Amino acid sequence: MYSFGDMQSMASNIFSAYASVAASMMLFRSMAHDIIPEPIKSYIISAFSRIFSYFFTPLSTQTTMVVDENSGMMRNQIYESAELYLHTKINPNTKRFKVSKNPKKKNISLSMEKNELVIDSFNSIELKWQFVLEVLENPKNHSQTEKRYFELSFNKQYRETVLNEYLPFVMQKAKENKEKDRNVKLYTRDCPHSYSDDDEDGRNGSGVWGCVNLDHPVTFDKLAMDPELKKQIIEDLDRFVRRKEYYKKVGKAWKRGYLLYGPPGTGKSSLIAAMANYLKFDIYDLELTRLYSNSELRRTLLSTTNRSIIVIEDIDCNAPMLNREVEHEPSDTKLTLSGLLNFMDGLWSNCGDERIIIFTTNHKEKIDPALLRPGRMDMHIHMSYCTPAGFDILALNYLAIRDHPKLFPDIKGLMQEVKVTPAEIAEQLMRNENVELALEGVVDLLERKKAEANEEKINEKSPVQMLELKCKISKN
Ligand SMILES: Nc1ncnc2c1ncn2[C@@H]1O[C@H](COP(=O)(O)OP(=O)(O)OP(=O)(O)O)[C@@H](O)[C@H]1O
Ligand SMILES: [Mg+2]
């Protein structure tokens, strides 16, 4: 039997042993910096750590999970997620961390330096992440390899919570961080090579498509359009991405179709870019005039990836192409509208997730009624001429002004009388850096348009007026 005094002295011995081993390891780390070669140093530190944890772990309530960089021949998904997740956990208390930026990414990224500790908290559980890098020497060929892993330590009683809740949470957060940092890409069939270089997540649409980063800076707040309509579109997009389970439950493919119509220069293409930037979805620009058969169309569509927007611009101009027949050939070798729609409604839409399909047209009245059938395009969006509210957005965006005592009322008054597109206004506003001159340019443009419209009205005489004119001429 041990007396209380014995137990006290044992505890104090253990504590001093613990403290001296920890202190010697720290001392060793700092002193060994220059003298001892890296592989030997790593080996000694890891051997020390193992002996240390062997003797002292039974006393502790802590447990440690090791998250290796690789899992067999594959990358370990938990390691990748931890790396991305811990970027955001580096804070002013972190003593050393790494910074990097590569051309594929938008932001500077921070990551953990070796042996550095990051403390996280989840549902009041304290979690310690340590990044470990060991340099291993291969005596056979004297080569060195690096072994990277994270050690995740926490109180053992939370083992189940960490496995079932915390790690899935880390993976989800990492996915969100990755989405935030990725560039939206524009895929077209015109450029055969990928210029974005970014196929790390396997999204480079194999072969058929070439891609570039979509550097279109437009966002919803910069779009001049009816504020209520804008709100509806954003809500519709939010609802769509949120409803994965709902689509599954009702047995519908997780896709959404929009038809954008309106005159040239009203922002249809800009709206598509704004949607892609908002959702971080890639855009596939499907030019139908370059496709010659339904089978080619199917191949092209099948090589698009999830979370993407398929765009078919100017569907009315593409319509003759869609009806083109190739003589004496079986039906699969011609491109038909029904081929396109059937494929979009059927098999293709079921083999991918989170797809948006957008058709644009300048002439809604000219497009095939099959496309307008209820249920085919979920939302018909009318992009109209510029309104006074739209002008406010453009003026703020291009000139950084919210009002002008004289010229704003003049412009808005004229806008009620003539049709002008946001593209025309934007062009005028960009012509001059001087606010007064730029706004006067808009007034001139609107007045010119008004004069032209009046002239056209005079020229457009009614048949009765024309008859009177003819009678006058014959009498004379
Ligand atoms: N609603 C808008 N809000 C802000 N800028 C706009 C808007 N509409 C047009 N613009 C400006 O005009 C340019 C051309 O517009 P955009 O290409 O989006 O028009 P569009 O409707 O697609 O025309 P088209 O029918 O000819 O394809 C844009 O790059 C943008 O600068
Ligand atoms: Mg366009």
Residues 308-353: pLDDT tens digits?
999 999 887 765 555 544 444 455 656 777 777 777 776 666 667 7
Lowest mean pLDDT, pick from 110-114, 130-134, 391-395 = 110-114
Residue 461 pLDDT exceeds 90: no
Beta carbon of 223 within 6 Å of any ligand 1 atom: yes
Residues in the chain: 476
Ligand 1 pocket check for 224: Cβ under 6 Å: yes
In tens, the pLDDT along 9-53 reads: 555 555 555 555 555 555 555 555 556 666 666 667 666 666 665
What pLDDT does residue 325 have?
45
Higher confidence at residue 52 or residue 166?
166
Q: Is the pLDDT of residue 287 over 60?
A: yes
pLDDT digits (tens, 9 = 90+) for 382-405: 999 999 999 999 999 999 999 999
Mean pLDDT of 405-426: 95
Q: What is the pLDDT of residue 323?
A: 52
Interval 409-424 mean pLDDT: 95
User: Candidates 221, 260, 269: which one to mutate for ligand 1, based on the most atoms within 8 Å of Cβ?
Assistant: 269
- Asked whether 62 and 155 are in contact (CB, 8 A), the reply is yes
pLDDT value of position 38: 65
Q: Is the CB of 268 under 6 A from ligand 1?
A: yes
Q: Note the pLDDT tens digit of each residue in 64-101.
A: 999 999 888 788 999 999 998 988 888 777 778 888 88
**Local structure of 65: helix, strand or coil:** strand
Averaged pLDDT, 248-274: 91
- Complex ipTM, two decimals? 0.99
3-state SS class at 176: helix
- Average model confidence (pLDDT) for the chain? 80
Q: Whose CA is nearest to atom 8 of ligand 1?
A: 267
Asked if 395 and 401 count as a contact pair (C-beta separation under 8 A), the reply is: yes
- For ligand 1, is residue 315 a contact (CB within 6 Å)? no
CA distance 166 to 88: 16
**Rounded to whole angstroms, how far apart are CA atoms 171 and 264?**
44
Dist. CA 272 → ligand 2 center (Å)? 9
338: left (phi > 0), else alpha (psi -120 to 50), else beta? alpha
For residue 369, pLDDT over 90 is answered with: no
Rounded to the nearest 5°, which phi and psi values hold at 51? -60, -45
Give strand ranges (E) for 203-288: 210-213, 255-261, 282-285
Average pLDDT for 233-248: 91
Does the beta carbon of 443 sit less than 6 angstroms from any atom of ligand 1? no
Among protein residues, the one whose CA lies closest to atom 13 of ligand 1: 423
Q: Is the dihedral of CA 297, 298, 304, 308 positive or negative?
A: positive
Say how many Å lie between the CA of residue 383 and the centre of ligand 1. 10
Closest ligand to the CA of 383: 1
Residue 106 has pLDDT above 60, yes or no: yes
143 confidence band (pLDDT: 50, 70, 90): confident
Is 225 touching ligand 1 by the criterion CB < 6 Å?
yes
Place of tokens 């969100």: 176
Would the pLDDT of 203 be above 50? no
Asked whether residue 201 carries a pLDDT value surpassing 50, the answer given is: no
How much is the pLDDT for 198? 46
* Span from the CA of 387 to the centroid of ligand 1 (angstroms): 14
Question: Predicted confidence band at 199 (pLDDT cuts at 50, 70, 90)?
Answer: very low
The mean per-residue pLDDT over the stretch 293-321 comes to 80
Is residue 423 very low, low, confident or very high in pLDDT (cuts 50, 70, 90)? very high
Strand stretches in 79-224, DSSP E:
97-100, 109-112, 117-122, 125-138, 143-155, 185-188, 210-213
The pLDDT-based confidence of 194 (bands split at 50, 70, 90) is very low
Residue type present at position 330: P
For residue 379, pLDDT beyond 60 = yes
* Model confidence, pTM: 0.69
Q: Which region among 202-206, 260-264, 276-280 has the lowest average model confidence (pLDDT)?
A: 202-206
> Under 8 Å CB-to-CB from 17, ≥6 apart: which residues?
none
pLDDT of residue 304: 84
Phi, then psi, of 115 in degrees rounded to 5? 65, 0
**Interval 253-267 mean pLDDT:** 92
Lowest mean pLDDT among 33-47, 146-160, 246-260: 33-47
Residue 279 has pLDDT above 70, yes or no: yes
Q: Which of 19-33, 208-222, 237-251, 419-433 has the lowest mean pLDDT?
A: 19-33
Tokens linked to 51 = 């002996």
